Amino acid sequence: MRSEGFDVIILDAGNLLFKKENLGPGTPKEIAKSTAKIIISGFNEIGCAAFSPGSKDFAAGLSFVQEMQSISEFPFISANIHDVNGNRIFDPYVIIDSDSVSLGIIGLASSFNHSEVFVQDPIEVLSEFINEVNAQVDIVVLLFDSEETDLTKLHASNLPIDLIVRSKAKTQSSDGGNKNIPAYSCGDRGKYVYQFDLHFTQPNVKFTDLSFHEKQISRSQQKLNKMKQGNLMTDLRTIYKEDPITLKKIDTYESQIQKSKNAIANGINTITLKKHALDKNVLDRPDVLNLIDSEKSKRDELYGPLPPSKGHKHLHDHNGDGVPDH
C-alpha cells in the first residue's frame, strides 16, 4: 500500500502462518510450526506495519501465536479475538503517522471455533470503537478475516472505513466491488501481492475506487461492441430502433460508462490497484533470500526436506514449500 505522505506499507489480513485450521500430529505439526517461524523471520526482514490473525493462524494453539508475536518486529492486531476469560489478546488497531497523513489500521475476524479463544461478533465490536479510530486519522483500513455474511453486514452498516483488505475468501479481487466501501481479497494461495496506491487530498471524502470504474467502463463497452456484430462504426440505435428491450440495454450500458467516467474525472481521494504475480520474474532480495535459506536449512536438518507442494504459498515461493524466498 502506498499513499501520499507514505512510503510502502506492508499489511497482512490473516491466515499467514498455516494452511489449515487444524494441524496433523507428530512431525508434520512441528514442520508446520518451524515453517511459521521462518515466515515471521521473513516478514521481520521485509518489514510489516500490521498483521491481523485469522482462524488458520491458531492451528497450533494460542500459545504458539503469542510466541510468534513475541519474536515478531511488527504488531499483531485484532479488535475481537479474546482469550476464554474475555480478555483482548491483541491491540485492536495501530496508527501510522507520516508527514501530514495518518493511517488507522484495524484488525478483525469473523467468528470461528477454537477451544482457547473467544471471538466476539465482529460488526458489534467494530461499531463500538470505529469512531474513536476515525477521529484520530485521515484514512481507515480494515484487515478482515471475513465470512461473506459479515462482509455484507459491514457494507450495510455505513461505518467510516475507507478500504477493506480481507482474507478467507478464495477468489482474487480485480476491483473493490460496487459497495460503499472498496473490499479486496488477494485470494487464499499467496500468489499475488496487491499494491494499493492511495491518493489522499481531502478529509471526510470517500475514496473512489478507480479500478472498479475502469473495469465497469471496459465491461459495458465490450457489451456494446458485441451488439455491433463486428462493425464498430455501426449506430446501435439505428440497428435496434424496432427493439425496445435492446435499446433499454444500450441506455443502461452507456449510462454505466458515463457514470464511471464522471467518477474517475471527479474523484478527490482515489484508490488504484496493481497486482504483482509472485513468479520467477520477480527479483529476489538477497538479504531476505539468505535469511530464509539459512532458516530452511536448520528446519530440514531437524525434520528432513519437504516434498514439492502445489498448496498455499507465501510471498515469493519458488520451491513450493510455503515459505517466502525473498
Domain boundaries, the chain: 2-205+269-303, 210-266
Residue type, 120: Q
- Determine the distance from the C-alpha atom of residue 41 to the mean position of all C-alpha atoms in its chain, rounded to a whole number: 21
The pLDDT assigned to 308 comes to 58
Mean pLDDT of each 10-residue bin along the chain, 326 residues long: 69 92 79 92 92 96 97 97 95 89 96 95 96 95 95 93 90 83 80 87 92 95 92 89 95 97 96 82 71 78 65 43 47
The pLDDT assigned to 173 comes to 82
The CATH class, in words, for 2-205+269-303 is: alpha beta
The pLDDT assigned to 172 comes to 77
User: How far is Cα 325 from Cα 320, in angstroms, rounded to an integer?
Assistant: 10
Residue type, 150: D
Q: Which residue has the cell 530452511?
A: 296
The pLDDT assigned to 189 comes to 64
Q: What is the chain's length?
A: 326
User: How far is Cα 259 from Cα 240, in angstroms, rounded to an integer?
Assistant: 23
Q: Could you tell me where the beta strands, DSSP code E, fall in 61-100?
A: 81-83, 93-98
> The C-alpha cell of 278 is what?
509472485
**Nearest Cα residue to 122 out of 55, 42, 35:** 55
**Secondary structure of residue 239 in the 3-state scheme:** helix
**Nearest Cα residue to 269 out of 318, 198, 192:** 198
The pLDDT assigned to 321 comes to 45
DSSP state of 319: T
The pLDDT assigned to 114 comes to 95
Contacts of 1 (CB under 8 A, 6+ apart): 8, 9, 10, 11, 141, 195, 196, 197, 198
The pLDDT assigned to 130 comes to 96
The pLDDT assigned to 113 comes to 93
- Determine the distance from the C-alpha atom of residue 298 to the mean position of all C-alpha atoms in its chain, rounded to a whole number: 31
Residue pair 239/226 in contact (Cβ under 8 Å)? The answer is no
User: How far is Cα 272 from Cα 211, in angstroms, rounded to an integer?
Assistant: 6
